[in-house]
Amino acid sequence: MRVDLDVSIDPNEYSFSHDIRVRFAETDAMGVMHHSSYVAFLEETRVEYLRSLGRPYGELRDEGFELAVLEIVLQYRQSARFEDVIRVHTRVRSMRAASFQMDYLLMIDGSICASGATVHGVVDKNGRATRAPAWLKTLLTGSPS
Amino acid sequence: MRVDLDVSIDPNEYSFSHDIRVRFAETDAMGVMHHSSYVAFLEETRVEYLRSLGRPYGELRDEGFELAVLEIVLQYRQSARFEDVIRVHTRVRSMRAASFQMDYLLMIDGSICASGATVHGVVDKNGRATRAPAWLKTLLTGSPS
Amino acid sequence: MRVDLDVSIDPNEYSFSHDIRVRFAETDAMGVMHHSSYVAFLEETRVEYLRSLGRPYGELRDEGFELAVLEIVLQYRQSARFEDVIRVHTRVRSMRAASFQMDYLLMIDGSICASGATVHGVVDKNGRATRAPAWLKTLLTGSPS
Amino acid sequence: MRVDLDVSIDPNEYSFSHDIRVRFAETDAMGVMHHSSYVAFLEETRVEYLRSLGRPYGELRDEGFELAVLEIVLQYRQSARFEDVIRVHTRVRSMRAASFQMDYLLMIDGSICASGATVHGVVDKNGRATRAPAWLKTLLTGSPS
Let me know the angle formed at the C-alpha of C3 by C2 and C5, rounded to the nearest 5 degrees: 135
Please state, rounded to an integer, the average pLDDT across all residues of chain B: 93
pLDDT of residue D105: 98
| Chain C nearest CA to A44, separation (Å) | 6
- Residues A44-95: tens digit of each pLDDT: 999 999 999 999 998 888 888 889 999 999 999 999 999 999 999 999 999 9
CA distance D52 to D14: 14
Find the residue in A nearest to B113 (Cα): A70
Could you tell me what percent of chain C has a pLDDT over 90? 74
Q: Are D24 and A35 in contact (CB under 8 A)?
A: no
pLDDT of residue D22: 98
The answer to whether the CB atoms of A83 and C57 lie below 8 A apart is: yes
| Chain D nearest CA to B25, separation (Å) | 6
- Residues B44-90: tens digit of each pLDDT: 999 999 999 999 998 888 888 989 999 999 999 999 999 999 999 99
Nearest to C5 among D2, D36, D79 (CB): D2
Q: Measured between alpha carbons, how far apart are the two ends of chain B, in Å?
A: 19
pLDDT of residue A85: 98
Residue A28 appears among annotated catalytic residues: yes
- Residues C129-145: tens digit of each pLDDT: 999 888 888 888 876 54
Nearest to B24 among D23, D24, D47 (CB): D47
pLDDT of residue B63: 87
The answer to whether the CB atoms of B25 and C28 lie below 8 A apart is: yes
| Chain C nearest CA to A142, separation (Å) | 25
Q: Which residue has the higher pLDDT, C62 or B8?
A: B8
Mark out chain A residues that contact chain D at CB-CB < 8 A: 24-25, 27-29, 31-32, 34, 36, 81-82
B31: amino acid identity, one letter: G
pLDDT over threshold 80, residue B144:
no
Four-point Cα dihedral A80, B127, A103, C38, nearest 10 = -40
For chain B, list the domains and their CATH numbers. Answer: 11-141 (3.10.129.10)
pLDDT of residue C145: 45
Nearest to A43 among C24, C47, C58 (CB): C24
Q: Which residue has the higher pLDDT, C2 or B102?
A: B102
Beta pairing, strands B111-124 & B99-108: antiparallel
Q: Which residue has the higher pLDDT, A14 or C59?
A: A14
The answer to whether the CB atoms of B23 and D44 lie below 8 A apart is: yes
The answer to whether the CB atoms of C40 and A57 lie below 8 A apart is: no
Which chains does B contact via 3+ CB–CB distances below 8 A? Answer: A, C, D
Contacts of D81 in chain A (CB under 8 A): 29
ipTM of the complex: 0.94
Length of chain C counted residue by residue: 145
CA distance C33 to C84: 9
pLDDT of residue C48: 97
Could you say which residues of chain D have pLDDT below 70?
1, 143-145
pLDDT of residue B1: 64
pLDDT of residue B140: 85
CA distance D88 to D33: 15
The answer to whether the CB atoms of A40 and B39 lie below 8 A apart is: no
Find the residue in A nearest to B73 (Cα): A73
Q: Mean pLDDT throughout A28-52?
A: 97
Contacts of B68 in chain A (CB under 8 A): 30, 76
The answer to whether the CB atoms of C72 and D74 lie below 8 A apart is: yes
Find the residue in C nearest to A22 (Cα): C44
Q: Quick one: pLDDT band at residue B14, thresholds 50, 70, 90?
A: very high
Could you tell me what percent of chain B has a pLDDT over 70? 97
Which chains does A contact via 3+ CB–CB distances below 8 A? Answer: B, C, D
pLDDT of residue B145: 45
- Residues A106-127: tens digit of each pLDDT: 999 999 999 999 999 999 988 8
Nearest to C23 among A24, A44, A58 (CB): A44
pLDDT of residue A143: 66
The answer to whether the CB atoms of B72 and A74 lie below 8 A apart is: yes
pLDDT of residue A1: 64
| Chain D nearest CA to A91, separation (Å) | 29
- Residues B19-53: tens digit of each pLDDT: 999 999 999 999 999 999 999 999 999 999 999 99
Q: Which residue has the higher pLDDT, B133 or D104?
A: D104
Q: What letter would DSSP give residue D132?
A: P
Nearest to A71 among B36, B70, B75 (CB): B75
Which chains does D contact via 3+ CB–CB distances below 8 A? Answer: A, B, C
pLDDT of residue A145: 45
Contacts of D71 in chain C (CB under 8 A): 73-76
Q: Are B59 and B10 in contact (CB under 8 A)?
A: no
- Residues C12-23: tens digit of each pLDDT: 999 999 999 999
Q: Are B14 and B50 in contact (CB under 8 A)?
A: no
Contacts of D66 in chain C (CB under 8 A): 30
Beta pairing, strands D65-76 & C65-76: antiparallel
pLDDT over threshold 70, residue B141:
yes
| Chain C nearest CA to D7, separation (Å) | 12
CA distance D131 to D137: 10
Four-point Cα dihedral D127, D128, D129, D133, nearest 10 = -80
- C31 Cβ partners below 8 Å, 6+ apart? B29, B31, C81
pLDDT of residue D144: 53
